[in-house]
């Protein structure tokens, strides 16, 4: 019996390898967690789940997906495995950006110029803190939560443990989204068609890179920064070490947000109701997949891509 089981195991491994080999031949990487749940194949279906009004931001806490509902002043918590809604929690006015600090969710309330800190375990509001005017993007650097204040033209740095805040001038107008690369913050500036690199230790601006028209969302792939250029219908790849622009690649209509899944770059296209998948090694198109109506924010849960669809009040799981 033991010998049969060993033989069966070898057959399973051989069959699994055979199934993966066509993707390897195409140069597509396979994410181990996707393979573990038999989801290594190209996206061919999606599921959608009702959330609040005008959902925009998405974040993953290691187990759950959180979606900001900018029209209903709340966040929705969903079970990542099956989309079950676990709770809806009140925030400030017009929540957009959201980030996880390892224990809590931080939500930028664009209409009330505050950020809300919620305990991820149960959604309890732990604090509401004043920041600059019209906060949008949020990122966590391991110690501090950083917020991009779009109208004030500043960043706010909050100590995650206490919410103690410091305003950081960044010499750019309209900071929108923000991402952390392990040592520095990257901030998009739509009005100047650029992205700036900010040293996390003291807020000093280290570089400024000109990208496409009206850059909104951005993401870090471990080496480079990818920026969604809303008005030029493309994404720009910037080398994180020095800010050099490495390339610009076509996306859909009005790309808004970017996420990296460990193998590919995904871009939400607000104007064409779909999401573009790019190969990070050369920016080539891997595929374009349907989303809901007006997709905006996006996140990766270790196996699936989640998208907030603004006009349909749905979160899609691909």
Per-residue pLDDT of 228-244, as tens digits, reads 999 999 999 999 999 99
Domain membership flag for residue 215: yes
Three-class secondary structure of residue 116 per DSSP? strand
Domain membership flag for residue 126: yes
308: CB partners within 8 A, 6+ apart: 51, 55, 56, 57, 58, 67, 68, 295, 296, 297, 298, 315
Do residues 234 and 212 make contact, with C-beta atoms less than 8 angstroms apart?
Answer: yes
Domain membership flag for residue 3: no
Range of 175's domain?
A: 45-317
Q: What is the dihedral of CA 105, 109, 89, 274, to 10 degrees?
A: -80
| Beta pairing class for 265-269 and 274-278 | antiparallel
Domain membership flag for residue 6: no
Q: Percent of the chain at pLDDT above 90?
A: 83
**Short-list 112, 97, 212, CA closest to 145:** 97
Instruction: Flag the least confident range among 10-14, 35-39, 142-146.
Output: 10-14
Do residues 99 and 125 make contact, with C-beta atoms less than 8 angstroms apart?
Answer: no
**Short-list 189, 187, 211, CA closest to 199:** 187
| Beta pairing class for 144-149 and 265-269 | unpaired
Domain membership flag for residue 18: no
**Helix or strand holding residue 259 (H, E):** strand 255-260
Q: How far apart are CA 268 and CA 296, in angstroms?
A: 6
| Beta pairing class for 144-149 and 295-300 | unpaired
Do residues 198 and 186 make contact, with C-beta atoms less than 8 angstroms apart?
Answer: yes
Domain membership flag for residue 23: no
Domain membership flag for residue 14: no
Report the number of distinct structural domains present in the chain.
Answer: 1
Determine the pLDDT at residue 281.
96
Per-residue pLDDT of 172-212, as tens digits, reads 889 999 999 999 999 999 999 999 999 998 889 999 999 99
Instruction: Flag the least confident range among 18-22, 72-76, 94-98, 103-107.
Output: 18-22
Domain membership flag for residue 33: no
- 67: tokens are 């979606």
- 63: tokens are 């187990």
Q: What is the pTM of this model?
A: 0.88
CATH number of residue 73's parent domain: 2.130.10.10
Per-residue pLDDT of 275-315, as tens digits, reads 999 999 999 999 999 999 999 999 999 999 999 999 999 99
307: CB partners within 8 A, 6+ apart: 58, 268, 275, 291, 292, 295, 296, 297, 298, 315, 316, 318
- 28: tokens are 């597509």
């Amino acid at each position: 019996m033991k010998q049969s089981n060993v033989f069966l195991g070898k057959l399973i491994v051989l069959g699994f390898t055979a199934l993966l080999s066509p993707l390897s031949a195409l140069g597509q990487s396979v994410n181990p967690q996707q393979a573990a749940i038999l989801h290594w194949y190209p996206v061919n279906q999606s599921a959608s789940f009702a959330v609040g009004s005008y959902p925009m931001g998405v974040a993953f806490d290691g187990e759950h997906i959180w979606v900001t509902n900018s029209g209903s002043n709340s966040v929705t918590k969903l079970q990542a495995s099956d989309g079950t809604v676990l709770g809806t929690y009140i925030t400030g006015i017009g929540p957009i950006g959201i980030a996880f600090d390892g224990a809590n969710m931080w939500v930028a309330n664009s209409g009330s110029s505050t950020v809300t800190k919620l305990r991820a375990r149960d959604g309890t509001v732990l604090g509401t803190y004043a920041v600059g005017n019209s906060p949008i993007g949020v990122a966590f650097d391991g110690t501090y939560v950083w917020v991009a204040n779009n109208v004030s033209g500043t960043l706010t740095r909050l100590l995650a443990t206490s919410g103690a805040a410091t305003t950081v001038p960044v010499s750019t107008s309209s900071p929108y989204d923000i991402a952390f690369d392990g040592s520095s913050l990257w901030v998009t500036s739509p009005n100047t068609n650029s992205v700036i690199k900010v040293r996390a230790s003291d807020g000093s601006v280290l570089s400024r890179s000109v990208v496409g028209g009206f850059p909104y969302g951005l993401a870090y792939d471990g080496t480079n920064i990818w920026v969604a250029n809303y008005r030029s219908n493309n994404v720009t790849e910037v080398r994180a070490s020095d800010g050099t622009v490495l390339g610009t690649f076509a996306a859909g209509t009005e790309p808004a947000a970017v996420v990296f899944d460990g193998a590919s770059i995904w871009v939400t296209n607000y104007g064409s109701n779909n999401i573009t998948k790019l190969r990070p090694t050369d920016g080539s198109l891997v595929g374009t997949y349907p989303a809901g109506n007006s997709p905006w924010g996006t996140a990766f849960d270790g196996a699936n891509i989640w998208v907030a669809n603004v006009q349909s009040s749905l979160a899609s799981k691909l």
